[in-house]
Structure formats: structure tokens, C-alpha cells
Amino acid sequence: MSREKKVVRAEAEPASEDRSKRRKVDTHAAAGKFCNADESITLHIVRTADDLHGDEDELSFPPEFTERFFGEEGKIYGYKGLKIDVWLHAVSFYAHANIHFDLKLRDGGPGNPTANLPAKMKEIFGEALIDSREDFLETMPQATDSFLQLLKEEGEVVASWRADGADGNVRQIVRLELKDARVRKFYTCLTPLIYLFIDGGLPIENDDPRWEIYVSTEGEGPEMVVTGFCTVYRFYSYPESTRLRVSQILVLPPYQGQGYGYRMLETIYRIATERNCNDITFEDPSDSLQELRDCMDVQRLLQFPPAVTALSLCVARFRRMVNSEVETATTSGQDVTKGNNKTPHASKSTAALDVDHKTILVPPPKLIEEARKALKINKVQIKRCWESLLFLQLGSSEMAVQEAFRELLVKRLHAEIFSKSDEAVGQGKKITDTENDYNIDKTFIMMRQRQPEASNSDPKMIGDVLDASDEEKKLQALQELLEEREVELQAVADKVSSRCKKLGIPVKVSEVQQS
């Protein structure tokens, strides 16, 4: 997320520390011997030489993650008044850095030597860094022409639309394969953005021809800028299909909130359908990406007749179950909270719902398979979306229904964390090397094996993460997880409701009575 700040531009200079450009070096110890990297470094998107001297603050932004290069605390030691401006070419992402500081210290304190900033810039930007300002200015128009030629020869436009209606700039998503050396070089220049804007992000192995990169752009010809990108891997899926794995997706801060991420995911889902892929998976998505994915899939399921029918039946059945429990508790005069005092948010308006959470929170097997085939939503994701669909229907219901739904969430969370029947991570899987026409060191087959029944000597189970006898810790953990999940569900519900209202998509389903 971009953080707003006033950017003070300095004259562009090579990323070097020539004596004629150095400030006075302090030979004495001083307090405050560091600067925060995310406050000292500013990135600027530029297309032409004039942009280096322009005042377009909306195209200037700080890095979000600097720990990889400047330690866990993101501190640059040995400088005062440090300002590092990095200009990034708008399509090739060649970089040029200017380092300016008021005072350079001999050291940054015990165990913290003064940072070698030119070396750090090279470490971050690698081959993309151009030291000379003149070379950088000369490279930009050539790089633009080369990029446009690359898109023409190797790119496939897979989506196109206009910003702000028919008169807006052309926006496109272009698919490239890493089989071409020029595409691999382009991706290498994107690598610094992965480090600086994706938490824990690492570059892909770009020598594998199964990788694809989807590039979002705005404008045409010399006016074009790259606004973001997404990397996707084509996995083999038994017996004769493929599975698309979304590895990285990044929209640059100046262009966030304009629908690029949504369009990229929408395009990838469409391509998966056209290729008849098995489904789509995501590699360790960030919270924001998972939320975007949830919103998209929930909206698609609301437009999918089998999902609407199954949801209608489930909601009607759940309401009947809750109303029956309330009626029974009321007529018998029982304490409706008894037996449920160990569950967070214990219901005070209804008896504890004596039902397996899976009967409500897990969609019907038939729907899971239909959604996978038609929408390419994998099994784990549709289960997650099913909870969001139920929340959309029940969130504004009477208190008894809301509390009963919350109790089911608690049961599901409890089973996932504390259930002794859960297998340890990785248990039951076997990896076998396999020959191929690419690289035997980088490919394998993963198979699931039937495991013997657990014994006292079995590995530690998931339920052992916390001491199951420590009820206070269990309740605290469940409470925190429940609150986190409710926040997620509410965020998705708000966004899906807003978008569906604009598109005229019904959010509430008619409750079908099961015969």
C-alpha cells in the first residue's frame, strides 16, 4: 500500500560516493546514527528525461519491505539526512539511483557499520541498475522501443478495456512466455519490485518454460506504462490436464485501486476455462490478494445457478434447525447457555446447536465438483467461499441465527487446530523424482499414501501445537481466530455487496424449502 509523503526531488547523480559529492564526515560518535529505509528511499516512475525533473508526486512512492536488504528493523546505519531517489523506467524498469545525505558517520554504532549504499543499490536492483545518469537518459527511449517490439513479437493481448469509459486510455493485459530470452531479461528487471513490495517475495526460476507472465499496461506506443504483472505456472494435473498456479501478483502503488488486480485474476480464470484446466491454485497469497480472490469467487458463485440452489437449500435448512433448537429450549425451560460455556461468544439466545459443522459449512460434494469444472475454483477455495456466501445470507438475520452460525465457525476452527485425528503436515505424502524434457533436478511427482493408525509413537499432531489441557490458551486462541475470520467475512461481504449492487447481481437468495 502506498504511503503518502511529500517528495523532495534532488538532481539526478550516479549511485556513487565520489569525494567531490560527499558531505562532511563526522569523526565523533553521535546519537541517532541511522535512517529508516522506507522513509529515506523514494521510487519514481518515469517515461522520458523530462520526468526526472517533473513534480508528479502521484508516481512517487516508498518501498514497503526493506528488511531483506537493511535488516529486520529496516535501518540504514551511518547517515543523517539521507535521501535516496530511484528512477524506474516505466516499461523496462531499468533503474538509476541518486544518493544524497547531510552527514556521513564513521559507523552506525556497535555492530552496525556504515552502510555501503552504492553496493546496496546494486544488491537491490542488480542488472537493472544504470550508474550513469547520461546512460540512463539515453537508454529510456531505446528501452521503450525494445519493449514495444517485444510485445508485438512475443506478446498475446488477452484482455483490453478503456479507463473511465470510451474516451479513456487503453488498458491491456498481455501474456508472455519465459521461453524468450528478452522476456526473461524483462522479468529480471521486475525482480527488485518483488523484493520491495511482496512480503517475503522471491523471484521465480525464469529458465523454466512453463512459466507465463501477464503484464498489465496503460496507454499506447511511446505513452505506454506497465502498471503491474502476474506470474503463473502450468502444472501437470493427473491424468491429462493442467493446473494453473498463480505465484506472484503485483500492481504498482500508483495504479492500485483501479481494478488491475481484479482484471488480471479475471483473465487468468477465463484462460483456465478456455484451456480446460483442472483448476487454479495460489502460492501463499497475501491477505489483500486472498481477499480479492474471495470477492471475485463469491461474486462468480452468486451467478452460478447450482451454487445459488445449494445455498438456498442450506440456508433454509439451517434456519429450521436453529428455530427448532430455540423452540425446544424455550418450552423445556432449560438454560440455553449450559454446555456451551467453553465456546467463545457463547450464545445467550439459543441452545447450543447439536450439529456437525460440516453439514452446514461444507458445500455439497456435487457443487464442489461442478464449481471446479465450470469456474476452476479448487476444493479448498470453494469451502472458504461457502462460508462467505452463508455469512452474506445470515449476517443480518435474527440474533439466534447469527449466534448459531458463529458457533459453527468455532467448531470448525476447533477441529482444525485441536483435533487429534488431524495428520501432521506432510504426513501421508511421498515425493518421487521423474524424468522429463526440462530439468530432472526440478521436477517430481507427489503422491498420497495410506497411513497406519496413529500410535503413541506417532509424530506430533497439529492438535499438539498448543497444550490441549490448557483450556485458557485454547479459548484465547479460538477467540482470536474467530475474530480474525469474522473480520475477513465482513470485509468480503461489504465489497461483494457493493459490487453486486452496481452490476445488478442479487446477493440474497430465495430460500428453497427442501421436499
Per-residue pLDDT of the chain (515 residues), as tens digits, is 333 333 333 333 334 444 333 334 443 444 468 999 999 999 999 999 989 876 667 899 999 999 999 999 999 999 999 999 999 999 999 999 999 999 998 888 888 899 999 999 999 999 999 999 999 999 999 999 999 999 999 999 999 999 877 678 999 999 999 999 999 999 999 999 999 999 988 999 888 889 999 999 999 999 999 999 999 999 988 877 899 999 999 999 999 999 999 999 999 999 999 999 999 999 999 999 999 999 999 999 999 999 999 999 999 999 998 988 877 766 766 554 444 444 554 444 444 566 778 889 999 999 999 999 999 999 999 999 999 999 999 987 788 899 999 999 999 998 888 765 444 444 455 555 555 655 655 555 555 555 544 444 343 333 444 454 577 888 888 899 999 999 999 999 999 999 999 999 999 988 665 54
Backbone angles phi, psi at 229, to 5 degrees: -160, 160
> In Å, what is the CA distance from 436 to each residue of 32, 235, 241, 288?
56, 13, 16, 36
3-state secondary structure of 444: strand
Q: How far apart are CA 250 and CA 201, in angstroms?
A: 11
For the chain, report the end-to-end CA distance as a whole number of angstroms. 50
- Is this prediction's pTM over 0.85? no
The C-alpha angle with vertex 438 and arms to 211 and 152, in degrees rounded to 5, equals 40
> Is residue 33 within 8 Å of 160, Cβ to Cβ?
no
Pairing assessment for the beta strands 429-433 and 41-46 based on DSSP bridges? unpaired
The C-alpha angle with vertex 264 and arms to 260 and 270, in degrees rounded to 5, equals 145
Predicted pLDDT of residue 378:
95
Q: Which of 309, 300, 278, 283 is nearest to 378 (CA)?
A: 278
Q: How far apart are CA 502 and CA 505, in angstroms?
A: 8
Q: How far apart are CA 65 and CA 54, in angstroms?
A: 26
Predicted pLDDT of residue 439:
60
Pairing assessment for the beta strands 60-61 and 41-46 based on DSSP bridges? antiparallel
> Is residue 234 within 8 Å of 214, Cβ to Cβ?
no
Predicted pLDDT of residue 404:
92
Predicted pLDDT of residue 261:
95
> Is residue 483 within 8 Å of 289, Cβ to Cβ?
no
Query: DSSP secondary-structure letter at 505?
Result: -
Grid cell digits, residue 173: 493485459
The number of angstroms, rounded, from the C-alpha of 515 to the middle of its chain's C-alpha atoms is: 42
Which residues pair with residue 207 across a beta bridge? none
Which residues pair with residue 176 across a beta bridge? 213
> In Å, what is the CA distance from 214 to each residue of 151, 175, 187, 223, 334?
11, 5, 11, 19, 60
> In Å, what is the CA distance from 116 to each residue of 78, 109, 119, 131?
9, 15, 6, 15
Q: How far apart are CA 501 and CA 210, in angstroms?
A: 39
Q: How far apart are CA 56 and CA 54, in angstroms?
A: 6
> In Å, what is the CA distance from 184 to each residue of 347, 392, 450?
57, 44, 41
Q: Which of 47, 49, 45, 48 is nearest to 58 (CA)?
A: 45
Number of residues that this document lists for the chain: 515
